[in-house]
């Protein structure tokens, strides 16, 4: 199916299981699932209720991708939990999800959009860079995730 056959939609309560499973799929492939992952993935409605957003990519009557925009307070938002199932990768879905999250950040009048990632996720880091994210020093304090050795902020 072409990318034109993929719809990027706001999260609905019925998307919770797919949000969880799509993210567990890549986390288990590359890392281990951390307690913070379990917390976020088990309660996606908290992201939306807290002023953030979640989007899903829907194709062939199923969700094939997802991304979250987590409100971190004081106008700061974290881009997190972006995943596209392997069978649907390479079709521009991640970029469309990323663009939806950036649009939601702008709509909310956010002052800072950041992400934490891992240097081993080269395709993701390349995508983030092409969208306007740049490497930046990590703010004081620990990383959200044990696997995170990359910190980027949006300068688009």
Q: What CATH number has the domain bearing residue 107? A: 3.40.630.30
Q: Residue 46 sits in which domain range?
A: 3-154
The number of folded domains in the chain is 1
Q: What is the pLDDT of residue 143?
A: 73
**Which of the pair, 117 or 141, is modelled with greater confidence?**
117
pLDDT digits (tens, 9 = 90+) for 59-82: 989 999 999 999 999 999 999 999
Give the pLDDT mean for 20-40: 93
Q: What is the pLDDT of residue 1?
A: 39
Phi, psi dihedrals of residue 99, rounded to the nearest 5°: -60, -40
Q: Which two tokens stand for residue 46?
A: 């908290």
Q: What is the pLDDT of residue 142?
A: 73
Strand order in the sheet with 76-84: 7-10, 53-59, 62-73, 76-84, 112-117, 150-154, 133-135
Q: What is the pLDDT of residue 113?
A: 98
Q: Which two tokens stand for residue 5?
A: 């056959």
pLDDT digits (tens, 9 = 90+) for 137-146: 988 877 778 8
């Amino acid at each position: 199916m072409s990318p034109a056959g993929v719809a990027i939609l706001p999260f609905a309560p019925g998307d919770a299981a797919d949000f969880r499973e799509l993210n567990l799929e890549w986390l288990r492939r590359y890392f281990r699932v951390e307690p913070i992952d379990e917390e976020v993935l088990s309660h996606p409605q908290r992201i939306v209720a807290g002023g953030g957003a979640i989007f899903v990519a829907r194709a062939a009557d199923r969700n094939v991708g997802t991304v979250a925009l987590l409100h971190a307070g004081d106008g700061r938002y974290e881009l997190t939990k972006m995943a596209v199932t392997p069978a649907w990768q390479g079709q521009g879905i991640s970029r469309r999800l990323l663009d939806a999250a950036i649009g939601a950040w702008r709509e909310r009048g956010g002052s800072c959009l950041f992400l934490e990632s891992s240097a081993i996720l080269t395709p993701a880091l390349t995508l983030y860079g092409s969208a306007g994210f740049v490497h930046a020093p990590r703010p004081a304090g620990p990383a959200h995730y044990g696997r995170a050795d990359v910190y980027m902020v949006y300068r688009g």
